[in-house]
Amino acid sequence: MTLSRRHFVMGSSALALAAPATIARAQSDNIVFASILDLSGGLDIYGAPMAETTRMAIEDINAAGGLLGREVELKMYDAQSTIQFYTQFATQAAAGDRADTVHAGITSASREAIRPTLARFKTLYFYNTQYEGGVCDYNNFCTGSTPAQTVAKIVPHAMNKWGKKVYIVAADYNYGQITAQWMQRFVAENGGETLDVEFFPLDVTNFGPTINKIQTAKPDMVISALVGGAHVSFYRQYAAAGMLSEIPIASTTFGVGNEQKLISAEEGNGIMASYGYFEGIDTPANKDFLSRLEAKLGADRPVINELAIRSYEGAMLWAAAVREAGTTDRDPVIEALRSGLSYEGPSGAVTIDGQTNHCSMNVYIGELADQEWSIVDSFENQPPADTQLVCDLNQNPNQSTFLFENGLAAAGIE
């Protein structure tokens, strides 16, 4: 093959956006808001509620007259639980739809697949999922809670209530491992002892051997960072072995996919969890949000969890920034966001932390009773302390890395 060198644009910063002259302009004068989520395949359990609240956010914005006098158009893509579709739809959204913002991604893998694409096309990116923390990217706003926000609160709360000896079970992948590391750290900081940490592949459904091990170790409590549909079996089998009444469970992952509805009341009663949102938050904003959602989707609406609420609030944060900046251009909007923009939503006040492009938020601790979370404690305005340890975008605005990609130790955290 002979290819003239003219076709290859050299250098690492120059953008080749201008190369082919045939890029279509955006089809209309609408502001384009793109969403890419897994609405089918193994991850749709998370994606489906996020899609509902995203739709509701766009409807709310348009009902309030749109932005800057223009209507906001929602382009929604189903990545089908496949990473390659994230890259593909991100490219399509950024270069094809000329989206003004892209709200996308559930797993960290999906986020990492699209982050470089959107950075390259200078398209503003929101990641509205709770995750292991550590993204340090000027173009990327992470609105979900990170382990230091939730684990830091639930560990002392649970240890005060149940005792100092802890057994950790976690999903065997990046998120589970990093969360388990934070759990160990906060257990130690609060004077407790971690008896054992055990990791499980995401498709394990038989937890019998582990339940034996827990019985051997006799901890005061089990902390779980198990994730996904298969791991729900743990809670069932744990309860079936009569363990739930003997050794209680705390978790920062149980409930991410509304697991409390997948097990029966007896199997879940007493499980403690910590998130940035529970439906039971007693504020007018939250009640109004839920009643409007119910009016829209009917009584069998999905249970709203942190993933779903951040999808709504992330869209609202962006809308607020556009109003403040008076434009949808990326740079002014980013500046508006980073100036410490705050949005008072169903979960309380959510404030952008300019150092990390993450959010300070309220953190709640809930206990499960009859498949419903009841809030037992809450903490206002918790900063993303873990990411703050390693990331400072005020100092290095050009940074665009995922610092916890290889675990905490690689990022210099012990």
Partner 1 sequence: MTGGNTGMRPVLIFALIGTVFMFGAPYVLQLFTIINLTTAIALAVLALSLALVWGFGGILCFGQVAFFGLGAYAYTMGAINFGGSTWAILVAILVSSAFAAILGYFVFFGRVSDVYLGVITLTVTLIFFSLIRRTSGPEFKIGIAQIGGFNGVTSPPLNLPWDTSSFLFPEQVFYVAMAALILCYVFCGWLMNTHFGRVCVGIRENELRAELLGYDSRLYKLGIFTISAGIAAIGGVLFCNGVGRITPDVFNLYNAALTIIWVIVGGRGTLIGPIAATFGLFYLTSALGGQSTLNNNLVLGVILIFFVLLVPKGVAPTITDWVARRRRPRKASRRARRTMRRDEGSNA
Partner 2 sequence: MDLFVAVTFQLVYGIANLALISLGLAIIFGMMRVINLAHGEFLMLGGYTVVVATNAGVNIWVAMLILAPLVVGVIGVIVERVIIRWLYGRMVDTLLATWGLSLLLIGLVTSIFGASTATTISPPLGIIRIGDYSASGYELFLIGVTLVLFLAVFATLKLTKLGLVARGTMQNPEMSSALGVSTTKIYMITFGLGAAVTGLAGGLLAPVTGVLPTIGATYIAKAFITVISGGSAILAGTAAGSILLGGINGIFSFLTGPTLGEVALLVAAIILLRLMPRGITGRFFRKSL
**Of the residues 89, 162, 238, 275, which one makes contact with partner 1 according to CB under 8 A:** 89
Q: Which CB sits closer to partner 2, 61 or 180?
A: 180
Q: Within positions 203 to 242, which residues make up the interface with partner 2, using CB under 8 A?
A: 203-206, 208-213, 215-216, 229-230, 232-233, 236-237, 239-242
**Of the residues 30, 62, 91, 327, which one makes contact with partner 1 according to CB under 8 A:** 91
**x/- site string to partner 1, residues 178 to 217, per CB under 8 A?**
---------------------x-xx---------------
Q: Within positions 167 to 206, which residues make up the interface with partner 2, using CB under 8 A?
A: 172, 198-201, 203-206
Shortest distance, CB of residue 14 to partner 1, whole angstroms?
A: 9
Shortest distance, CB of residue 300 to partner 2, whole angstroms?
A: 9
CA distances from 215 to 244, 246, 254, 269 (A): 12, 10, 21, 20
267 binds, among partner 1, partner 2, none (CB under 5 to 8 A by kind): partner 2
Strand pairing report for 72-78 and 31-37: parallel
Candidate ranges 102-110, 187-195, 251-259, 296-304; the one touching partner 1 (CB under 8 A): 102-110
376 binds, among partner 2, partner 1, none (CB under 5 to 8 A by kind): none
Helix axes 108-120, 83-91, angle to 10 degrees: 20
**Sequence-distant (≥ 6) Cβ neighbours of residue 412 within 8 angstroms:** 390
Residue given tokens 């939250």 in the structure block: 286
Q: Within positions 116 to 145, which residues make up the interface with partner 1, using CB under 8 A?
A: 116-117
Quickly list DSSP for 5-61: GGGSPPSSS---TTSSTTPPPPSSSSEEEEEEE--SSTTHHHHHHHHHHHHHHHHHH
**Sequence-distant (≥ 6) Cβ neighbours of residue 246 within 8 angstroms:** none
Q: Which CB sits closer to partner 1, 8 or 69?
A: 8
Q: Which CB sits closer to partner 2, 269 or 399?
A: 269
Q: How far apart are CA 89 and CA 111, in angstroms?
A: 12
- 342 touches partner 1 (CB under 8 A): no
| Whether the Cβ atoms of residue 359 and residue 384 lie closer than 8 Å to each other | yes
329 binds, among partner 1, partner 2, none (CB under 5 to 8 A by kind): none
Q: How far apart are CA 27 and CA 4, in angstroms?
A: 34
DSSP state of 339: T
- Residue 320's region, left for phi above 0, alpha for psi from -120 to 50, else beta, is alpha
CA distances from 49 to 14, 228, 236 (A): 39, 15, 24
Q: Which CB sits closer to partner 1, 9 or 265?
A: 9
Which tokens belong to 388? 């703050």
Q: Which residues bind partner 1 (CB under 8 A)?
A: 1, 3, 7-10, 12, 16-17, 19-20, 22-24, 39-41, 51, 75-85, 87-89, 91-92, 94-96, 107-109, 112-113, 116-117, 172-175, 177, 199, 201-202, 405-407, 409-410
